[in-house]
Amino acid sequence: MNSALYIGEVVHQRVSTLSHRLRYRLWMMLLDLDELDGLKLKLLSRRRFGLVSFRAADHGDRSGRPLRRQVETHLAGAGIDLNGGPIRLLTMPRILGYGFNPISVFFCHRPDGELAALLYEVTNTFHERHSYLVAVPPNTAGPVRQTTEKTFFVSPFMDMGLTYDFTVHPPGEAVSVVVAVRRGDTPILTASFAGRRRPLTDGQVLRAFVTHPLLTWKVTWGIHWEALRGMLKGARYRHRGPPPAHPVTVGTPR
């Protein structure tokens, strides 16, 4: 089975004039979209309330179409054909019915397992959603490095007109996703997740639930706590503008 858990930590480091750091433990699931219907876990609910649950409707365009078909449509728009290769989603589950993912990542592979593209799905606290799609050049060795312009409102304390630089170590025994935000050559913020692989079993799900209580609630609290700290330090509030006209922004390798 390719699906797994990753236990690790998130770090937010603002490096602009309003500098501060936020760090907490967190776990995510890596779900192979072709394995979802075959998962037989008592502690991972699919279509009902549970301690831990996954709902496909928490991702994509909320159209009800299968997630794989939605991702393949975005890939086709960028001229990428997986030829049936696996798509694996790194995301947090719902905890006690509550779900919120600031960022989830679809790892899109060719049939031979080589990574073809990454689709970064970003959700803001208004529950608006936008994705950034970047191809991975063939025979890429080491970490995947990509960049894209910021086109989607995420925080009232961050301008538009910024650039995201992604550095990703794809899932194996470990995984890491680093997002560095900059204005030109000036760094603004770095956010990262790094985790170690665990098998996706009922025992491991229960252990993750117990040792990381109220996971998604903690993430939402962390976002609002960070916003409060910014306000107390005098950060300027930016009003939310209209969402991007297109649901996907295409970036480039770097």
pLDDT digits (tens, 9 = 90+) for 116-162: 999 999 998 888 999 999 999 998 888 999 999 999 988 766 788 89
Given a contact cutoff of 8 angstroms between Cβ atoms, the answer to whether 80 and 116 are in contact is: yes
Inform me whether the pLDDT recorded for 19 exceeds 90. Answer: no
Residue-wise pLDDT for 177-220, tens only, equals 999 999 999 998 999 999 999 999 999 999 999 998 888 767 77
At residue 173 the predicted structure's pLDDT band, cuts being 50, 70 and 90, is very high
Kindly tell me if the per-residue pLDDT of 236 is higher than 70.
Answer: no
Tell me the average pLDDT of the chain.
89
Kindly state the tokens that stand for 67.
């997630």
CB 95 within 8 A of CB 58: no
Q: What are phi and psi of 190, to 5 degrees?
A: -130, 130
What per-residue confidence (pLDDT) applies to 102? Answer: 92
- With CA atoms as reference, report the closest residue to 122 among 169, 171, 166, 83: 166
pLDDT value at residue 12: 86
For residue 5, how many other CB atoms are within 10 A of its CB?
20
What is the per-residue pLDDT for 230?
Answer: 63
**What average pLDDT score do residues 47-71 get?**
89
Which range (49-53, 58-62, 213-217) has the least confidence? 213-217
